[in-house]
Amino acid sequence: MQRTYNPLDHGFEFSNDWYTFDRKAAHAAALKQRNREARDLRKQGYAVTCFTLGEQLVSRGGIGSGNPHIELVVSVFGLNASKVRTFNLSASKGL
């Protein structure tokens, strides 16, 4: 499985025909969420690899949304996880 954690999902809001966004706090919240999920998946027996997609240009608003268009540069955090398979070789016959 692959999951991403976008800082814009943490505190980005349109208000008074513009937006509010605390970039530093949002990055910290997205990173904290990714790390918490990675820890939980490891406890469940998944092999987890974390990654960062640095300086991604993302946009919000624009035509049809009812809000002004804005482009922001953020780092998107992510993880790849796969279930770890274990084999009991001593239980196999012929080995």
Torsion, Cα of 64, 69, 73, 79 (10° steps)? -10
Instruction: Give the pLDDT score at 89.
Output: 67
Give residue 95's pLDDT band: very low, low, confident or very high (50, 70, 90): low
Comparing 93 with 46, the larger pLDDT belongs to: 46
The residues, any chain, with a CB within 8 Å of residue 31's CB and separated by 6 or more, are: 5, 77
Residue 17, pLDDT score: 81
- Tell me the per-residue pLDDT of 23-72, one tens digit each, with 9 for 90 and over: 999 999 999 999 999 999 999 999 999 999 999 999 999 999 889 999 99
The contacts of residue 46 (CB under 8 Å, 6+ apart) are: 81, 82, 83, 84
Q: Looking at the whole model, is its pTM more than 0.85? A: no
The predicted structure's pLDDT at residue 10: 94
